[in-house]
Structure 1
């Protein structure tokens, strides 16, 4: 069952898959869209279609560029609108406390806070605009974003590649019991999400 889904994805035009990955990541990195377009999940799923080094490199480069572009857009929005963003309905509904902590940490920690926030749920979506609001200089923001975006994209695509290959190998081994593969992969995804959320909460508690 699971490999049938993977095969269906692999049959889609490669350019379409790459474009979808790029759009998902751009949405994840732009203020507000990360709550709607789960870039991490998208990279994980699309990463399962990659079965060669060139494909990995192309998807990695495209998504990294899109992540940097998305972060830059969010940064520009925060720089221009500043504290007004704190009063928007979206921020108040999904992450007012996270916004306050993020801007505070960015003012105190600068580029290091950018790097850390990139790998944390919620904070990742809020970080670019919060950095602009905090008036973090571009010369500090951009290098941290480039490094963090490259590592973030490589990590999640790599997880997807590993999961896809493992699913194919296991399904070939178990035959009719392929539903077990889907259960294992789903459980792994849940565990990753829970762990990340706990780490994010711990980080929030430390910074508060």
Structure 2
């Protein structure tokens, strides 16, 4: 079941996995691509393919470089187009209020905002461009991006590795029957919650 999927992922060529991880992370961190490139999800899933320190370091290095490159592209777009980016279709997808929030955080925190923005989904995509548009110098932007991207990638790859290990141990312990019972419990719980919500909605209308 789940371990079969994890084993299949591990059987794929490492170069392909690294390329996929790098592209998805780059897209997640580049202005306008966050919706179609689930970088965090990719890191968690691909983190399950890590087998030891060498493979962890390799994936961490590739994804960190990709994240820094994506943020740098956003920053350069901000430097090039300035506040006009607020009116672009890419920014309007997130909402002008999200751009305003990014610039507000940037004004208050400066390079520190860039350091932590990568951990926040919307700010991760918008804040590098906002930093470029606001005139934040590269000497303040790049060190913060490198540290933040390194920590973000290491965190999610580690979580993926830990989750993959836990799933293998759990499946070995409970077997197929245990997973079937667990699945039935989840399904019943979802049905009960939905029924309660529907009844509550009808009661509110009445």
User: Structure 2-normalised TM-score?
Assistant: 0.85
Match of 2:99 in 1: 99
Bigger shift: 148-157 or 170-179?
A: 170-179
In the aligned structure 2, how far is the partner of 1:60 from the partner of 1:41? 15
The 8 Å contact of residues 27 and 33 in structure 1, kept in 2 or not, is answered as: yes
The 8 Å contact of residues 106 and 131 in structure 2, kept in 1 or not, is answered as: yes
Match of 1:177 in 2: 177
Bigger shift: 91-100 or 168-177?
A: 91-100
Bigger shift: 86-95 or 19-28?
A: 86-95
In the aligned structure 1, how far is the partner of 2:82 from the partner of 2:129? 8
Q: Deviations over 1:11-61 (max 9, x none)?
A: 110110011111111001100111210100000000011111100000001
The alpha carbon displacement at 1:115 in A equals 1.3
Aligned CA-pair RMSD: 1.7
The 8 Å contact of residues 31 and 90 in structure 2, kept in 1 or not, is answered as: no
Match of 1:71 in 2: 71
Segments of 5+ residues of structure 1 without an aligned counterpart are 187-208
Distance 1:67 1:172, change over 3 A: same
Bigger shift: 113-122 or 161-170?
A: 113-122
The alpha carbon displacement at 1:177 in A equals 3.4
The alpha carbon displacement at 1:181 in A equals 10
The alpha carbon displacement at 1:62 in A equals 0.7
The alpha carbon displacement at 1:178 in A equals 5.8
Match of 2:121 in 1: 121
The alpha carbon displacement at 1:179 in A equals 3.3
Secondary structure (helix, strand or coil) at the match of 2:49 reads coil
The alpha carbon displacement at 1:176 in A equals 1.0
The alpha carbon displacement at 1:83 in A equals 1.3
User: Structure 1-normalised TM-score?
Assistant: 0.84
Choose 1 or 2 for highest CA Rg: 2
Q: Deviations over 1:113-132 (max 9, x none)?
A: 11121111111011111111
Number of residues of Structure 1 aligned to a counterpart in Structure 2? 184
